[in-house]
Chains A and B, each alone.
Chain A
Amino acid sequence: MNLPHPELYGLLGEFDSPERLMDAAKKIREAGYRRIDAFVPFPVEGLSQALGLGRKHDLVPLLTLIGGLGGGLTGFFFQVWVNMSSYPMNIAGRPLNSWPAFIPVTFELTVLGGSLFAVFGMLALNKLPQPHHPLFNVERFKRASNDKFFLCIEAHDPKFHLEETARLLQSVNAQHVTEVRDED
């Protein structure tokens, strides 16, 4: 590890087109950096792949499956418990475990569990909501929601070195390189 920069969040490179940003992202990954992120005003096709954000690390589908199965099983067995043990009632001579009648609620709770886990799982994995972020300290960063494309190499990347990383960003055609500091 290089010299610690306790308040340093990372280095921000600014690009003026999505093509340049994609190109830079690929080269920076080739240089061995892993803790990188991009900020763009509109969705750029292929950017996730260029950043190396594979589906392998995406936990949302698994969380949705767990939520759906959990919701469905809860819904079904809750009704089984109510109808067979907690408050058994003979309804027109049907068996107490009247399972076809339990399916609509089971289905609804599967959908509910799956969607709740998907939405809140996604938020949690993205560490949202996040009222403050060090990038907000950079005045130019406001243009990420307008007309500029940014790439940030975070300081806790094992390969991060203030001067070398800045040089790398310049060599891949960043128009501006800014140090991002987490300060008040």
Chain B
Amino acid sequence: MSAQEYKAPESVGRLEKRALVVGVLGLVVSIVGWITKPEDFFRSYLVAFLLVLGLSLGSLGLLMLLHLTGGQWGILIRRPLESATRVLWLVFAFFLPIPLFGMKFLYAAWLDAPKTGEGALSPLQQSYLTRGGFVFRGFVYFAIWLALMLLLNAMSRQQDVDREDRALRRRLKFFAGPGIILYVFAMTFAAIDWSMSLSPHWASTIYGFLFVAGQAISAMSLMIIMVILFSHAEPFAHIIQKRHLHDLGKLLFTFNMLWAYFSFSQLLIIWSGNQPEEITFYKSRLFGGWGAVAALVLVLHFFIPFFALLSRDVKRNQAVLPKIAMWLIAMRCLDLFWLTRPEFTSRALPTLWDFAAVLALGGIWLWFFAVQLKQQPLLPLGEPKLAEAIANHEH
């Protein structure tokens, strides 16, 4: 088969246009928010930024996992994953307003903390949580992720040209192992900087993993939606089979359980320890209005997708599975909202800016993603196991 046959179907072009329209509309409202209510707006912006960061980084993580394990499940989504990682440049641009304009609205808790006396941070924290350190580390995280992204994309493109070069396959694997460690390490520190430091007196060692697991959910959900979108047109209508959906559905199910497991582990340890400095996180999130949001996260993010995805028929259903995937991306917004917002307000309701920022960043992200999808054939033609992965043997 030639590369021409696997180019992005027309639906990707439609996605590109619609996403841009939504993104620009969101951006217009966002700019109004930025000017009129910068304090409220940046709280919303943080949620939206963490969401689109998850789409790109989750794809980077899944891509490296795929190179490491070499499973057939990922060959079909390898190119969409690579396209999503290339949007990381845009996510980096989305990061810049936070250190440039948003820090005083978001991180006042440690920027303006007293140096001594009541409420003072420890000397270590005072030396770590500084404006310069925050900006410098932010650039380091993105440097790590962008380097991994460029490396993996370059080798994958090379594989399309030198189809017989088996050493490339080994080299991809060789970089993917340390790459996953670097990604998780950088994400742990990034989660501390960007989200955990909203409440600088509270700390949790599993916090970074909450984000890593959430990013895997976001990315896998997006991949399921894309696979179904491709499957509406030839040649993908004949390539994508129920067994592919079954594999992706099982992984989505697993990641959702992993996220629930990490989230609950944190609660169980803090609940059992019952230390005054630790329980603050849940005191502001499990009672009152935020308690209701917590219950929603538990039921809507975990229980409903869990029981739906338990069924084999649902995982193989091309009408239902993408709906669950879209639902889970929406639930990622809810979870990020619940993780960050209670540090600012006890009012557990979203603002107009929440919707505007998510639509702006999400729309522009999707637009750039669609642009990236068009650049390469949608199947990795140099992948040795490609023929096996798309062979039609449905049972």
Contacts and interface: CB of A to CB of B under 8 A. Distances in A.
B310 A65 contact: yes
Nearest to A98: B271
A86 to B, nearest CB: 22
Interface residues of A, number: 14
A92 interface: yes
B36 interface: no
B395 A100 contact: no
A45 to B, nearest CB: 7
Contact of A94 (B268, B274, B310): B274
Interface in A2-55: 45-46, 49, 55
A45 B394 CA distance: 11
Interface in B17-73: none
B349 interface: no
Given A45-B395, A49-B395, A94-B274, A101 B310 contact: no
A104 B274 CA distance: 18
B395 A61 contact: no
B71 to A, nearest CB: 20
B312 interface: yes
A27 to B, nearest CB: 20
A5 B65 CA distance: 62
A59 to B, nearest CB: 14
Interface in B308-325: 310, 312
Contacts of A123: none
Contacts, number: 22
Interface string B245-282: 00000000000000000001001100110100000000
Contacts of A100: 264, 267-268, 271-272
Nearest to B310: A65
Contacts of B312: 55, 61
Contacts of A138: none
Nearest to A99: B271
Interface of B: 264, 267-268, 271-272, 274, 310, 312, 395
Given A65-B310, A94-B271, 8 more contacts: A45-B395, A46-B395, A49-B395, A92-B274, A93-B274, A94-B274, A101-B268, A103-B264
22 contacts: A45-B395, A46-B395, A49-B395, A55-B312, A61-B312, A65-B310, A92-B274, A93-B274, A94-B271, A94-B274, A98-B271, A100-B264, A100-B267, A100-B268, A100-B271, A100-B272, A101-B268, A101-B271, A101-B272, A103-B264, A103-B268, A104-B268
